[in-house]
Amino acid sequence: MRLVTYGPPNGEEPGVLIDDHLLLPLRPVLGRAGLHIAEMGDLLGLWPAVDALVRQAVVAGDGAVPLNGLRLGPPVPRPGKIVAIGFNYPQHATGVLSGAEPAGDPVVFLKPPSALSGPNDPLVKPPETTQLDYELELGVVIGRACRRIRRQDAQAHVAGYMIANDVTARDIVLGAGASNPLLLQIARGKGFPTFCPTGPWLLTSDEIDPDRPLRLTLSVNGERRQDAWTSSMLVDVPGLIASVSATMDLFPGDLILTGSPAGCGFQLDPPGYLRDGDRIQAAITGLGHMDLVVCDEVPDPLTVR
């Protein structure tokens, strides 16, 4: 099932796609059953209990609305946290860690939920960076709370999967240079608004074969930049969930970004950083397409002090 949110930023409503042209709002469906869902994470936490109800409503199609003209937001607009994984594909570290692959547990960092945006929203380039970069990633959404989950049990805690882009301002992250790891500005360089576009939908885990590799592709202005398979990940999804949950509690709606393959702008010769007007198109097998256009930030005089 393809779960979505729709509506204006910060006012998104949960829905489910009936097909490529129709969307079924879920608040009325759940309301008739006496359920009032505030967040998509709440719905995911209840999913085993409401799955059959939602499927029946999808078959009936009552209350469906045309998808055309609706803005799709992030499938999970307000997760408790966004856990990102670094250097989880071969060669992604080239030019940052001198080609070395990190050993031991996966590299973990956090992105603020305020960085989330929809799959077709503008990607806003802040004036602080001249090295805006893309990182196409498979996003994994948690459906059941867990802590210290065993690898063999991890899939049972996955609500579904979606496309994500871990947008990064390279010059901010590496402002002090790679030789000064304690001065890395990861949160700053990856935390601006619109620096985590996701969607267009969350595909529920029952529709994904966990043993089937998924293809990730990303193009900038029609030029293919990234093309890889999830089977190339150094640590797979169950391993990532086991590792992350050993450190922190995971709750329904939490998002794990599983790392990006080679082909990012900083790895090209010359570097291919994003500029105003660039168009980024990305896809992952079964998870739809993301289409973003970069625009320079225009300061709002009401918010600038």
Read off the pLDDT band of 38 (50, 70, 90): confident
Q: What integer pLDDT is reported at residue 39 of this predicted model?
A: 84
Average pLDDT of the segment spanning 157-173: 97
pLDDT band at 16 (very low <50, low <70, confident <90, very high): very high
Summarize pLDDT for 108-146 with one digit per residue, the tens. Answer: 999 999 999 999 999 999 999 999 999 999 999 999 999
Q: What is the pLDDT of residue 118?
A: 98
Domain with CATH 3.90.850.10 in the chain: 82-296
Instruction: Give phi and psi for 214, each to the nearest 5.
Output: -110, 140
pLDDT (0 to 100) of residue 66 = 96
With tokens 């999913």, the residue in question is 47
The rounded distance, in Å, linking the Cα atoms of 169 and 190 is: 6
Mean predicted confidence (pLDDT) in 275-300: 96
Condensed to tens digits (0 to 9), the pLDDT of residues 224-275 reads: 999 999 999 999 999 999 999 999 999 999 999 999 999 999 999 999 999 9
Question: Residue 168 pLDDT more than 80?
Answer: yes
Residue 183 — φ and ψ, nearest 5°? -105, 10
Asked whether the predicted pLDDT for residue 176 surpasses 70, the reply is no
DSSP 187: H
Q: How far apart are CA 112 and CA 81, in angstroms?
A: 7
Query: How far apart are alpha carbons 166 and 186 in whole angstroms?
Result: 11
pLDDT of residue 183: 73
pTM: 0.94
pLDDT at residue 194, as a whole number: 98
- What residues are paired with 162 via a beta bridge? 139
Q: Which is it for strands 22-25 and 223-229: parallel, antiparallel or unpaired?
A: unpaired
The pLDDT score that the predictor gives to residue 175 is 82
Question: How much is the mean pLDDT over the chain?
Answer: 92
Task: Tell whether the model's pLDDT for residue 154 goes beyond 80.
Answer: yes
Q: Which residues contact 32 (CB under 8 A, 6 or more apart)?
A: none
Q: Per-residue pLDDT tens for 73-100?
A: 999 999 999 999 999 998 765 555 544 5
**Assigned CATH topology for domain 82-296:** Fumarylacetoacetate hydrolase; domain 2 (3.90.850)
- Proportion of the chain above pLDDT 70, given as a percent: 92
For residue 40, the surrounding DSSP H or E stretch is helix 40-45
Say if CB 226 and CB 264 are below 8 A apart.
yes
